[in-house]
Each structure stands twice: as C-alpha cells, then as structure tokens.
Amino acid sequence: MIPYGKQSISNDDVESVIDVLKSDFLTQGPVVPQFELEISKYVGATYAVAVNSATSALHIACLSLGVNKNSVVWISAISFVASSNCALYCGATVDFVDIDKDTINISPETLVKKIKYNYENNLPLPDVLIVVHMAGQSCDMKPIHDLAQEYKFKIIEDASHAIGASYYGKPVGSCIYSDITVFSFHPVKIITTGEGGIAVTNDENIYTKMNLYRSHGVTRDERLMSGCDGPWYYEQIELGFNYRMTEMQAALGLSQVKSLNKFVSQRNKIAIKYDAQLHSTKITLPVTQQYSKPSWHLYVIQLNADKLNREDVFTKLREKDVGVNVHYRPIYLNPYYQSLGFKKGLCPNSEEYYSSCISIPLYHGMPEKEQDAVIYAVNEACA
Ligand SMILES: *Cc1c(COP(=O)(O)O)cnc(C)c1O
C-alpha cells in the first residue's frame, strides 16, 4: 500500500539521536533549547516552547491565554479532534465555525456573520479562536485578525500541517496575526520528532506561562517566586503538567529542520504534478490562494457528489494499493461531541466537504513510480 504520508529519516538524523543517547542528558539538557531556537528563527517568532505533542502545545496555549470553565472557544469545524479537545481540557465551552470550500480553512465571511449574529442576539462571543491551516495552506489571517481586534478575542493558529508555509510572504508561525502558533512533529507531518510539538509566540508573558505549564508549573526564576530559602529552592506557582520533549526528540527535530526546505519543495513539486496530471472533470483539486505559499502536507481531492460516489472511489483506490484517507469529519459529528449537544447541520460546507473529500498519498521521498501509480489510479477511479 502506498501510504498517504510517511516520515523521511536520514543517516544524519539517526546519528544525531545516537549522539544524544551517548551524552549526559536524555531530558532537560541543551538540545531542546537549541531546537526551540532553530524553530523560532525559522518561523520568525520570538519565543518557542517544545513539548511532547502538538496536542500538549494546544493545551498549554489555551491555558496561557486564560482559557477556563467560563471561556468560549471557537474552532474551525474541519480539523483533527485535538484542535478542539484542548479547549475542553480547560473546561471551556466550544463552538464551531464553518469552512470555505475552496480553501478548506475557516471562512472569514462565515466568521463575521456568526460573530455579528451572536453579538446582536446576546449570544456568546469567543474568547479564543483556533484556526487550522488545513493541508498546509495558511488561512486568510488578515480579516480574522481584524475581527479579533474589534471583538477582543485571542487567536491560536493550529499549524500542525503547515510548517514551511507562508502568508503574504511571512512564514506561518511569525504570529503577526495571532497570539500563538502550534506545530506538530508527528511522523506524518512535514518534519518529525517521533511524537512532539511546539508552541511559538512573540509575547513574553504568554511564553513564561507556557513554559510553566509544560513542566509542573514549577519555576526557579526569582522574579516569579514568592521567596527563596536557598540555592536548592524552587516553587510550584501554577498547576502544570509534564509535557516535556526529550533530548532525543529534539535532536531528531534539530536535524530534520535542516531538511525542511527540501521536504517542502519536494512535496510541493509532487502537488504541482498532481495538479497537472489529475484530469478528471468530476473532481476538484486544491487551489493555491494568491496570498499563500503552501507546504502541502495533504493533497485533498473533492469529488463532485452528483457524478462520483466517495465510498466507491475510496474502495477502488485502496484496492489498487493507493493508501487514501479522509481528513476530516467535522469535529462535532464525533459521538463525544454529539453527546455535548452538537447537531448535524451546524456547518453545512464542512459536512458537504466531509462527504466528498479524499486525501491521496503525498510525502517527501515518494518514488516517481508511486506518484505515477497514484495519478493513474485516481484518473481511472474518477473517470
Ligand atoms: C496532527 C494534528 C494535531 C495533533 O498533533 P499531535 O502532535 O499528534 O498531538 C493537531 N491538529 C492538527 C490539525 C493535526 O493535524
């Protein structure tokens, strides 16, 4: 089966992990800060906090923005469940915003309408909005940021798919239009640390809080402590977690960053080849927006529902050993969210997208033969 995604590990990657294993520190050593510095430089943010997953990064991001049981958090409806679970971990009330069908990202128009409607009808407005750069293409952040200014909410960018992408020439993660951006280093993502994630920000206060939440809420920083009994002294000042990244993970990440531009350009090259050679008129291909340079993590085709049956096409492709997948079902259609009271029909575009989308294989190092096999199989299945 040709996988829909896969990591790409070089000998240098392996060597750098082995070096750490032979060193004094397996955790809380020098490599995690080096990795944080490298990522923050790459994405153009001032601060970075590396953790054991993007899910943890989303959780500490929410906590550091003060999300609690009185908060309202809105999330783009099409994403992995972690994008909204993080708000539930904090006890918040969540709600979902529909996507734009061309970008699969949150629709700024729908967001405006929902905010205005809730504002005029005395319904809850968001304290925090979590946007998702689906498949590796940035959301249109400027209008979203303008709304955040006007209606006083914070923004977290879930950029789990999108390291290496840019928006109006600025790297995703520069946090120009948001408070915090989160990246995932799960093996199917663009670079990997095995499990791992990072949260970046330009705000020193947010950084300090995320740092605390990552590691038990414990600090040795005298500026944060109430006193000091001696050189052994530390204080717990928040209820934090152990979300730390290991030195082995950071070493792998540090080495992977060196290949990041190469990974992105090869993924994008394969996407351009798909754009050119997938010629069924019964499918819609991803559209690169004028404001965006994507780093395609997923290549999602959308079937014309009148002409093609998704399950048929999906099954045919799997039978041809093409490891297709579906990303994603609207989060609120999962039974857990249904049990919270969410109903079908909440986000019509997202539901329509879900019934028509198929992700086809795309990864760095994908042999040309596999690319051609995917193109052939898709053209045949969608003819
Ligand atoms: C992968 C992913 C996550 C979770 O990442 P982990 O590192 O596996 O915790 C969150 N959001 C999106 C959009 C993802 O694709």
Distance (Å, rounded) from C-alpha 134 to C-alpha 80? 10
Digit-coded pLDDT (tens) for 260-310: 999 999 999 999 999 999 999 999 999 999 999 999 999 999 999 899 999
Band the pLDDT of 81: cuts 50, 70, 90: very high
Digit-coded pLDDT (tens) for 107-154: 999 999 999 999 999 999 999 999 999 999 999 999 999 999 999 999
Band the pLDDT of 17: cuts 50, 70, 90: very high
| C-beta of 84 in contact with ligand 1 (< 6 A) | no
User: What residues form DSSP beta bridges with 2?
Assistant: 322
Residue 121 CA to ligand 1 center (angstroms) comes to 34
Residue 274 is predicted with a pLDDT of 98
Residues in CB range of 130: below 8 A, 6 or more apart: 58, 73, 74, 75, 76, 83, 84, 86, 87, 155, 156, 157, 158
Residue 297 backbone phi and psi in degrees, to 5: -90, -40
Query: Helix (H) and strand (E) counts for the chain?
Result: 13, 15
Atom of ligand 1 at shortest range from CA of 327 = 15
Residue 130 CA to ligand 1 center (angstroms) comes to 13
Across all residues in the chain, what is the average pLDDT? 97
Residue 324 backbone phi and psi in degrees, to 5: -70, 160
Atom of ligand 1 at shortest range from CA of 55 = 9
Band the pLDDT of 75: cuts 50, 70, 90: very high
Ligand 1: residue of 83, 99, 193, 350 to mutate (most ligand atoms within 8 A of CB) is 83
Residue 371 is predicted with a pLDDT of 98
Band the pLDDT of 221: cuts 50, 70, 90: very high
Residue 1 is predicted with a pLDDT of 95
Determine contact, residues 133/157, Cβ cutoff 8 Å. yes
